[in-house]
Chain A
Amino acid sequence: MATTQGEEGPTTERLMLPMLYLDTLWVQVTGTVCNIACKHCFISCGPKVERHRMMSAPDVIQALDDGVSAGLRSIWFTGGEPFLHPEILALIDAALQRAPLGILSNGVLIDEPMAQALGERFASAPYNLELRISLDGCTPEDNDRVRGRGVFAAAVAGIERLASHGLEPVVAVSLLDDADAASADQASFVQLLREHGVSRPRVKWIPPFRIGRERSRRGGRAYRSWERLTAGDLLEPEAPLRLQCGTSRCVTSEGVFACPILINEPGFRLGSQLSEAIRDHPVDHEACHTCWVEAFSCSV
């Protein structure tokens, strides 16, 4: 059926959030490629998952330059697992020349030479370097049941190496519906981190995003039909600051997305260039409800 230009039926109207400005640029340096395949991974990453391919170094640097032109304050590298990238150190250096950098990692691949290289950059780069290591339980049993056998020991070893080189990683903990009590307790993680040489322990809690593999994991659940953002929520004047996508964007090999959470949703791809993607965007996905009620941001 032909429609006149600009005409919009009521069914096509989506709940939109204005973008304030670009503060945080997420770069999916390794796409959906990960060395492990966690049962709760909300972007369903794994060793052979190339829905988003690894980005080439020139593409990463182009994204960084586009972000600087747009006025960014900070850069985050994520994936997948960023330390799978063959040129990760060069990319880290490129980022740190431009802005503070955070890296989300499962910690498994951080060997002694890498920890040393990161420690040197933490001490001397022009801007802050922050490492965040995922650990979803403070015992091998509780962590490895979702992250895979042996991952707890490997991640803790990575944390220990980082700490011995002066970097004090933040531990990122997913709040799972079926976690044991200690694994939802700040004090248990603080103690674990101290035991492994982290003198200023910090924990970042990740609320459950019930999408990707988490949606169908035994012990998890899908969203309920009422778990949606409403137009009324967005009337709050601080709404674009409360939702991270009001001030951030995520670049992958497949384009620019509203956030690092919804890179598998075509409706949240905002363009192929960053400059096209700095604009208002929909927030009508069920995952948006988690961001809203938790006032959650993947950064800070």
Chain B
Amino acid sequence: MQRVSGQRREPLPLVQGSARRVALFGGAYSNWLAVEAVVADARARGADAIWFLGDVGGFGPHPDRSIEALRELSVEVIQGNYDDSVGHSRLDCACGYTDPRDNHFAQLSYDYTLANTSAQGRSWLAQMPSAARIQLGERVVHLCHGSPRRVNEFLWESTTPAGFISGLCRDWEAHTIVCTHTGLHWSRRLDDGRGLVNVGAVGRPANDGRREVWYALLEEVDGRLTETFVPVAYDWERLAREMAAEGLPPEFIETITTGWWTTCLEILPARERHRGRF
């Protein structure tokens, strides 16, 4: 009889580097202007390591520009489901949507992204590592895309209980787990200080009626590992113009110009959806 002990099936990657103040962001969705703005902001705030947690393409224009931005700015990266799909020219983005309308818009952006990513860009996406572990002071931080156990698992604030986070930290031998993939930033700390940080996405606003996009800084404050979410303004008007020129759907452009999500809403838990406009 097979019994389950813990959830981890894969060996852990080696812990690399040691940093003091780490900037973490995810979900570029081809918003290359936001990528540049976020990296500049993180450097200005004294980040000594900058990590991108995956999903370079999708939604926005000119996917190669985001790939170039990440490479030229020497950002450390791990792979998202989108990068795996584009990198291997798969049929869809494997985002994990279940609703037909979500899938319709997801497929539109995926087909555009795949058609507009160069061969060189695709091979770079294909070779990104799927997880990483970094050292912050004494503590190990595990970086992943969706969740430590699945690249396209959604970890939302209202559906990720403390007990579950505790199990992830135990099984992945980490003090803090950092992820993205949902597009909404949040974090939860356990009483003992361990916890999970979802950095949200820089590719589109956080469904809050603001046009800024968010990333996270992680550092030790008074002996505790502490995350700060940082809003960053970027040239959204230029992005909207480029999206229109590329013939991307008006629904996507509306999200950039208003800060409210108009698509891929069906995946949101009721609580998160209730906060948005649609």
Query: Which residues from chain A sit less than 8 Å from chain B, CB to CB?
Result: 18-22, 68-69, 71-74, 98-100, 122, 127-130, 166-168, 200, 202, 278-280, 300
**Complex contact A99–B163 (CB within 8 A):** yes
CA distance A202 to B116 in the complex (A): 34
**Complex contact A73–B270 (CB within 8 A):** no
Within 8 A of A (CB), among B3-43: 3-4, 6-7
CA distance A72 to B168 in the complex (A): 11
Instruction: Indicate the member of A19, A99, A100, A129 with the most B CB atoms within 10 Å.
Output: A100
| Neighbouring B residues of A168 by C-beta, 8 Å | 270, 274
Select A279's contact among B2, B265, B271, beta carbons within 8 Å: B2
**Complex contact B7–A71 (CB within 8 A):** yes
Stretch at the interface among B154-162, B172-180, B215-223: B154-162
User: In terms of DSSP, what is the predominant structure of the interface of chain A?
Assistant: loop
**Complex contact B161–A127 (CB within 8 A):** yes
Instruction: Indicate the member of A21, A128, A278 with the most B CB atoms within 10 Å.
Output: A128
**Complex contact A73–B2 (CB within 8 A):** no
| Extra inter-chain contacts (7) besides given A18-B2, A74-B159, A300-B98, CB under 8 Å | A21-B7, A22-B4, A73-B159, A128-B272, A200-B273, A200-B278, A279-B4
**Complex contact A19–B4 (CB within 8 A):** yes
Contact indicator per residue, chain B 95-109, by CB within 8 Å of chain A (1) or not (0): 000100000000000
CA distance A85 to B156 in the complex (A): 30
CA distance A122 to B156 in the complex (A): 15
**Complex contact B269–A20 (CB within 8 A):** no
Smallest CB gap from A67: residue in B: B163
Select B164's contact among A18, A72, A122, A280, beta carbons within 8 Å: A72
Would you call B249 an interface residue if the criterion is a C-beta within 8 Å of the partner chain's C-beta atoms? no
**Complex contact B4–A278 (CB within 8 A):** yes
Would you call B251 an interface residue if the criterion is a C-beta within 8 Å of the partner chain's C-beta atoms? no
Write 13 A-B pairs (CB below 8 A) sorted by A numbering.
A19-B2, A69-B163, A73-B159, A99-B163, A122-B271, A129-B271, A130-B270, A166-B274, A167-B270, A200-B265, A279-B2, A280-B1, A300-B98
**Complex contact A100–B7 (CB within 8 A):** no
Would you call B137 an interface residue if the criterion is a C-beta within 8 Å of the partner chain's C-beta atoms? no
**Complex contact A129–B270 (CB within 8 A):** yes
CA distance A18 to B163 in the complex (A): 23
Query: Which residues from chain B sit less than 8 Å from chain A, CB to CB?
Result: 1-4, 6-7, 98, 149, 156, 158-161, 163-164, 167, 265-266, 269-274, 278
Smallest CB gap from B160: residue in A: A73
Smallest CB gap from A74: residue in B: B159
Smallest CB gap from A275: residue in B: B3
CA distance A98 to B160 in the complex (A): 10
**Complex contact B3–A278 (CB within 8 A):** yes
Q: What are the 9 tightest A-B residue pairs by CB atom distance, in nearest-first order?
A: A128-B158, A71-B167, A99-B161, A68-B163, A21-B7, A128-B271, A128-B269, A100-B159, A280-B2
**Complex contact A73–B7 (CB within 8 A):** no
CA distance A75 to B36 in the complex (A): 41
CA distance A54 to B274 in the complex (A): 33
| Neighbouring A residues of B272 by C-beta, 8 Å | 128
| Neighbouring A residues of B161 by C-beta, 8 Å | 68, 72-74, 98-100, 127
Minimal beta-carbon separation of A187 from chain B (angstroms): 11
| Neighbouring B residues of A279 by C-beta, 8 Å | 1-4
**Complex contact A72–B2 (CB within 8 A):** no
Minimal beta-carbon separation of A115 from chain B (angstroms): 15
| Neighbouring B residues of A278 by C-beta, 8 Å | 3-4
**Complex contact B4–A21 (CB within 8 A):** yes
Minimal beta-carbon separation of A61 from chain B (angstroms): 14
Minimal beta-carbon separation of A257 from chain B (angstroms): 17
| Neighbouring A residues of B159 by C-beta, 8 Å | 73-74, 100, 127-128
CA distance A19 to B4 in the complex (A): 7
CA distance A278 to B4 in the complex (A): 7
Known: A100-B158, A100-B269, A200-B273. A73 touches B164 (CB 8 A): yes
CA distance A99 to B165 in the complex (A): 11
Minimal beta-carbon separation of B204 from chain A (angstroms): 19
CA distance A279 to B3 in the complex (A): 5
CA distance A71 to B271 in the complex (A): 22
CA distance A127 to B158 in the complex (A): 5
**Complex contact B270–A99 (CB within 8 A):** no
| Neighbouring A residues of B273 by C-beta, 8 Å | 200
